[in-house]
Structures are given as C-alpha cells and as structure tokens.
Structure 1
Amino acid sequence: MKYLMMAVFMAVAPVMALAEGKAHKVAIHVDENDPQVMNMALNNVANVISYYESVGDTVEIEVVTYGPGLNMLVAGKSPVEDRISVMSLEMDNVTFAACGNTHAAMQEKAGKDVPLMSEANVVPSGVVRLIELQEDGYAYVRP
C-alpha cells in the first residue's frame, strides 16, 4: 500500500504543479528621462503579465527608477503618469520604486519639494533596491 500511494503521488504531483502555475518575479530598471524608454518599460510590464497569465502562471513586477529615470514618477511631470495610474488600478502585481537618493538630490537642486506620484514607493537607493530584488530571485530587465 505504501508503494502504491507513493506511485500515485509521483504521478499526480507534476499535474498538480502545472495546475498551480509557476510564480515569476521581474525587476524592470529605468534610469533614463526618455518617454520612449518609459513606455517600453510599461509595455514590458503589460506584455509579461499578459503572457504569464495566458499560461496560468503568476508574476510580480517592480519597476525601479533612479537618476534621470525618476522623472517617470514625478507628479505633474511624468510623460507616462496617466498610464501608470491606470496600470496601478488594473494590475495589483506591479509596484513602482523611486530612488530616495535621486529624489533628495532633485529636491535640493530645485530648492523645493518635488512631489512624486502616489504610486511611487520611495526606497533608500534605486541601485541597492535592484541588488536586493536580484538577490531575492527577481529576473532583471532593462528596456
């Protein structure tokens, strides 16, 4: 009986794994103040989610911005602000990280507060955040 149960488990386990789908994690890096790059990053987000959903998998995506790329998350200035707002409402598996170092330097240079979009999660360092995500098994993508 023990061997029969083991054989059944070995036969069913792969099917169960397929039914559950695989979980993926992706970090997308944006460090350019270029609307084409920003839109390509958002296209990558949409395409990756669409693909993995179509095969029954799940995916978590974090878009990490720093340097000139932080403009992607500056309220009232981002060329993709509306698109990010819509995506954030429709896709709960996407987050946006804003480099705290870049944000502080941007505010110092401007001599005033530089508001970020509500979707932005400020992290101490964009580069460090990318390192942490990769150490946590995230695939790295740079559009």
Structure 2
Amino acid sequence: MRFDLRRLMAACALLLATAGASLATDVKIHRVSIQVDQNDPAIMNLALNNASNIMETYKEKGEEVEIEVVTYGPGLNMLRDDTSPVKDRLKQIADLSFPSKIRFSACNVTKRGMEKREGHPIPIVAEASLVPSGAVRLMELQESGWSYLKP
C-alpha cells in the first residue's frame, strides 16, 4: 500500500473545514432588545436587572448573548449624563459584561426634542450611543430576529 501524503493532508483539511463549519452553525448567539420609555428609576433598574440576569444565565451556560437597551421618550433620562439615576450601574454593567455584549442606545429624536424644550445640549453617558430613532431601532432589531423585552 502506497502512502500519499498530499491526499491525506487534503482529506484532513476537508474534514477539519467541514467539522469547523458544523461547529460554527451549532453555536447560537442569543440577542435581546430591552425597551425603556419611562422616566422611572424602578423601570430603569428592572431593565438593568433583566440585562444582568440574562448575561449571567448565558455565561453559566457558556453561550453568547448580545443585549441592546434602547431608550426613547421619557426613558432617555436613563442615559442622560446629567439626570440618570442609574449612571453608576450603567458603567458597572458595561465594564462587567464580557463575554456578553451590551449596548445602550439613546434616541436622537427624543434628545433633539429635549434640547429644544430645555434650551441647552443634552449630555449622554459615555456608555451609550445615539441612534436616529429609538422606536425604529427596536423595529429593526426585531426584524433582524432579536427577541424583545419591555420591563
């Protein structure tokens, strides 16, 4: 029996590629959007508790999770640097989220409206990013297959 190293290496490469592709498709990444639309510290804390519990549950399972907390309307106060009653928790959760991913999204439509009414720029916490519209962002996430939670 003649040993052909090139054929053996090609067969091994094919086997590894197939196994790798199979493993990659078996890994499910969980994704959830959490809506905050009320200027209520209890609701804000409940949303953050939900996010923390979700991250911890999937960390224990060894599974990946992505969370996006979307604020709009009165809920934007959660992400305002000058008014947030949960500012310290936002930083703590963002810092401790690995290996999970958490994002805080602030509605720019709401921010512009608040700025117009209040007559000054509205500062957003460093952990957050602006999205054009909080409502549209939630729609887009759901259309992309994300789960939805409203505490």
TM-score (norm: length of structure 1): 0.85
| Mapping for residues 58-77 of structure 1, pairs under 5 Å | 58-77=64-83
Task: Give the aligned residue type for 1:139.
Answer: S
For these two proteins, the number of residue pairs brought into alignment is 131
Distance 1:136 1:22 in 2: 15
Q: Distance in 2 between matches of 1:78 and 1:94?
A: 18
d(CA) in 1 for partners of 2:64, 2:50: 15
Give 1:27's match in structure 2, choosing from 27, 33, 36: 33
Select 2:147's aligned residue among 131, 139, 142.
Answer: 139
Instruction: Measure, in 1, the Cα distance between the counterparts of 2:76 and 2:82.
Output: 13
Match of 2:45 in 1: 39
- CA drift of 1:79 comes to 0.4
Residue ranges of structure 2 left out of the alignment (5+ in a row): 1-14
Give ranges in structure 1 of 5+ residues lacking alignment: 1-8
The structure with the largest alpha-carbon Rg is 2
Letter in 1 for 2:143: E
Counterpart-to-counterpart distance in 2, 1:116 and 1:65: 11
Question: Which of 110, 115, 128 is the aligned partner of 1:107?
Answer: 115
**Which whole-Å CA distance do the structure 2 matches of 1:139 and 1:44 have between them?**
13
CA distance in 1, matches of 2:127, 2:78: 11
Shift of residue 120, structure 1, vs aligned partner: 1.3
Query: Percent identity, aligned pairs only?
Result: 48
Deviations 1:108-141 (A, max 9, x none): 0010111110111100000000000001111000
Distance 1:71 1:32, change over 3 A: same
Write the letter of the residue equivalent to 1:90: L
**Counterpart of 2:105?**
97
SS at match of 1:112: coil
Distance across 1 between alignment mates of 2:111 and 2:65: 28
CA RMSD of aligned residues (A): 2.0
TM-score (norm 2): 0.81
Which moved further from structure 2: 86-95 or 113-122?
Answer: 86-95
Contact preservation (8 Å) 1:21, 1:56: no
